[in-house]
A and B are shown apart, each in its own frame.
Chain A
Amino acid sequence: MADLSIKIHDILFKNPVLTASGTCGFGKEIQDFVNLESLGGVVMKGTTLNPREGNSYPRMAETPSGMLNAVGLQNKGVDNFVRNIYPGIKDIDTHFIVNVNGSTIEEYIAVTERINELEKIPAIELNISCPNVKEGGMAFGVSCPAAEAVVKAVRKVYNKTLIVKLSPNITSITEIAKVCEAQGADSVSLINTLLGMAVDAEKRKPVLSTVTGGLSGPAVKPIALRMVWQVHNAVKIPIIGMGGIMNATDAIEFILAGASAVQIGTGIFKDPDIFEKTISGIESYLDRHKLHSISELIGKLQM
């Protein structure tokens, strides 16, 4: 059987399929459907220093081949994570990664420092790309100086694997990726959701309470693939690709475009068995193509 394991910095993932932040809770929430130990990793929902209530309802709009969300990082804060969530996940045999958020650099640092104390969390995903919060969030991910400052500051206090999650709502994603690499990021993950909007024509009102929200699902896949490909050609650090992955073929496409691993988010809303199917589908793809290891495929798009 082909070898599905991949390496990101110094972490060995048993396979390249991870959950995307904000779509699988802290992992426990999907255990009825998914054997967490079969996953490459679990990127948990966005965590901030203080608890956040998120935005008001309605927070979701279905769109062609996707959806808009405006959850706005609802979470109970990092203390709650350390005290109540971590003890329940630390002995599960997969890599749990915390998605770190903040409205100021100080907040990013404070959350990171708390997570750094946790032995069984091998990495953080620094979210500088959330489009659904008023302050901070995406603001850090759409300007090179801001991204530079936050990555640099977090790198100083964090010595484990640092993944930076990039925003697609930007003219040149490669510039930001290069800045992250230069500041010591070990990996970049992309893409976060695309800023979008939905209108209810009958009511003549925006559907979302926040008017705009983040688009995800198959609708964004071509953009996500393009960005992964561009970033792959711009930086040397490994890339975690995501955006609209619904099956093994989609995952392989991202890997060919340059991703070392992938995350699946919105896809689980439609099909809770998506992880199992994707992992076994990648396996059979490798067998069918007589490949021994998934790493042989990374960035191997034939031009």
Chain B
Amino acid sequence: MQQVAAFILLRNILHRIIFALKSVNMRKTVSDLLLIDNKQLNKDNFLLKLQSKTPLSDIFPGQFVNVEIKKATEIFLRRPFSIMDVDYENRTISLLVKILGRGSKVFTEYIPGELVSVIFPLGKPFTLPLPNDRILLIGGGSGVAPMLFLAKICGLKPEQVHMILGARSATDHVDISEYEGLANLYYATEDGSKGEKGFVTHHPLFTHQLESFDKIYTCGPDPMMKAVAKEAYKRKLFCEVSLENTMACGFGVCLCCVEDTKHGNLCVCTEGPVFNINDLKWQI
């Protein structure tokens, strides 16, 4: 266990250096990955694990894949999903897929052994925290995926990492007990059936201790991210959000996914999906 921790730490230090030098191997590829596991977590959420034949390039929290849902021939474009976990040794990536419409539904019906065409890794990741940072991760819905990935590889001690997960009801929360050793986990549900009652922004950690955090990261429904961003902005705290604008290509050529930012229309798929709230034009 200690060896693993040391390895993760070393890897993160390396990542940070490579990243600072901007020479990180971010070559995008399109490849057929083998679905090796598909687990239903609750009514609408599935955990899909895909394996690559070749070694994976470096992948960071916030980055995503663009998946062709070939089985649903009526679906023309690919569907983007955040990367929730990477296992370099076994060359696998995990995705948390929430059923929204036809594409996500058919994707969750794939069975292990089938091949899935995936373009990855795409997008710019979250800024990794510094060794002494106290960080707050806020995830809602399938937005927990990149938060979990960040918690796992940020290289911080568990007491530095706090994560609030929001959902409508207890049954909408996915079981993430395996992350318990990595972070302090808190829950909020709209109906009060698990953790605090209300939105993530009603959680006492958020309402009373926000300023104790050096970095705040969030991914989830727009209204949730905006509510988080608003409080962080007021207090001039570092805050990054991960946007989910609809995409056609996912790799920066169609210019369909733009977000109106202080630097003009920027592609969410290449300049994002992670943005610092100071760069956005949200009315917060």
Please tell me which one of the listed residues B74, B246, B253 contacts residue A24 in the complex, with CB atoms under 8 A apart: B253
Per-position binary interface string of chain B over residues 11-41, scored 1 when its CB falls under 8 Å from any chain A CB and 0 otherwise? 0000000000000000111100000000000
Given known pairs A56-B260, A63-B76, A74-B265, the reply for A269 and B248 (CB within 8 Å) is yes
Per-position binary interface string of chain A over residues 57-80, scored 1 when its CB falls under 8 Å from any chain B CB and 0 otherwise? 111101111110101001000000
B78 CB–A CB distance under 8 Å: yes
Name the interface size band of chain B: 20 to 34
User: B74, A62: Cβ atoms under 8 Å?
Assistant: no
115-170 of chain B: CB within 8 A of chain A? 117, 119
User: A54, B30: Cβ atoms under 8 Å?
Assistant: no
Name the interface size band of chain A: 20 to 34
Please, which residues of chain B bring their CB within 8 A of the CB of A54? Answer: 255, 258, 265
User: B76, A23: Cβ atoms under 8 Å?
Assistant: no
Please tell me which one of the listed residues A23, A57, A63, A67 contacts residue B253 in the complex, with CB atoms under 8 A apart: A23
User: B251, A29: Cβ atoms under 8 Å?
Assistant: yes
Q: How far is the CB of A150 from chain B (nearest CB, A)?
A: 25
Please, which residues of chain A bring their CB within 8 A of the CB of B247? Answer: 60
Q: How far is the CB of A194 from chain B (nearest CB, A)?
A: 15
A272 CB–B CB distance under 8 Å: yes
A32 CB–B CB distance under 8 Å: yes
Please, which residues of chain B bring their CB within 8 A of the CB of A33? Answer: 28-30
B257 CB–A CB distance under 8 Å: yes
User: A271, B30: Cβ atoms under 8 Å?
Assistant: yes
Please, which residues of chain B bring their CB within 8 A of the CB of A62? Answer: 75-77, 248
User: A217, B76: Cβ atoms under 8 Å?
Assistant: yes
Nearest opposing residue in chain B for A219, CB measure: B76
Please, which residues of chain A bring their CB within 8 A of the CB of B251? Answer: 29-30, 32, 272
A25 CB–B CB distance under 8 Å: yes
Given the complex of chains A and B, what is the CA–CA distance between A53 and B264 in angstroms? 7
B106 CB–A CB distance under 8 Å: no
Given the complex of chains A and B, what is the CA–CA distance between A54 and B260 in angstroms? 11
User: B257, A60: Cβ atoms under 8 Å?
Assistant: yes
B240 CB–A CB distance under 8 Å: no
Given the complex of chains A and B, what is the CA–CA distance between A297 and B256 in angstroms? 36
241-264 of chain B: CB within 8 A of chain A? 245-260, 264
Please, which residues of chain A bring their CB within 8 A of the CB of B246? Answer: 58, 60
Given the complex of chains A and B, what is the CA–CA distance between A269 and B68 in angstroms? 10
Given known pairs A63-B76, A268-B249, A270-B77, the reply for A57 and B258 (CB within 8 Å) is yes
Please tell me which one of the listed residues B245, B249, B265 contacts residue A269 in the complex, with CB atoms under 8 A apart: B249
Count of A-B contacts with CB under 8 A?
A: 88
Nearest opposing residue in chain B for A274, CB measure: B30
Nearest opposing residue in chain B for A65, CB measure: B76
Among B77, B247, B248: residue with most chain A CB under 10 A: B248
A37 CB–B CB distance under 8 Å: no
Please, which residues of chain A bring their CB within 8 A of the CB of B78? Answer: 269-270
Please, which residues of chain A bring their CB within 8 A of the CB of B264? Answer: 53
8-34 of chain A: CB within 8 A of chain B? 22-25, 29-30, 32-33
User: B253, A268: Cβ atoms under 8 Å?
Assistant: yes
A296 CB–B CB distance under 8 Å: no
Given the complex of chains A and B, what is the CA–CA distance between A67 and B76 in angstroms? 8
User: B119, A74: Cβ atoms under 8 Å?
Assistant: no
Per-position binary interface string of chain A over residues 260-277, scored 1 when its CB falls under 8 Å from any chain B CB and 0 otherwise? 000000101111110000
Please tell me which one of the listed residues A59, A266, A272 contacts residue B30 in the complex, with CB atoms under 8 A apart: A272
Nearest opposing residue in chain A for B70, CB measure: A270
Please, which residues of chain A bring their CB within 8 A of the CB of B256? Answer: 59-60, 69, 71
Nearest opposing residue in chain B for A54, CB measure: B265
Nearest opposing residue in chain A for B249, CB measure: A269
Please tell me which one of the listed residues B77, B119, B250, B252 contacts residue A25 in the complex, with CB atoms under 8 A apart: B252
Query: A270-B68, A270-B76 provided; 17 other pairs, C-beta below 8 A?
Result: A25-B253, A29-B252, A30-B253, A33-B29, A33-B30, A57-B258, A59-B256, A59-B258, A60-B254, A63-B76, A64-B74, A69-B248, A69-B256, A218-B76, A268-B253, A269-B78, A269-B253
Subset of 29 A-B contacts with CB under 8 Å = A23-B253, A23-B254, A25-B252, A25-B253, A29-B252, A29-B253, A32-B251, A33-B29, A57-B245, A57-B260, A59-B256, A59-B258, A60-B248, A60-B254, A63-B76, A64-B76, A66-B76, A67-B77, A71-B254, A71-B255, A71-B256, A74-B258, A268-B253, A269-B250, A269-B253, A270-B68, A270-B76, A270-B78, A271-B68
Chain B residues within 8 Å of A, Cβ to Cβ: 27-30, 68, 74-78, 117, 119, 245-260, 264-265
Give me the 8 closest cross-chain CB pairs, A-B, nearest first.
Answer: A60-B256, A269-B249, A32-B28, A272-B30, A25-B253, A71-B255, A269-B248, A59-B256
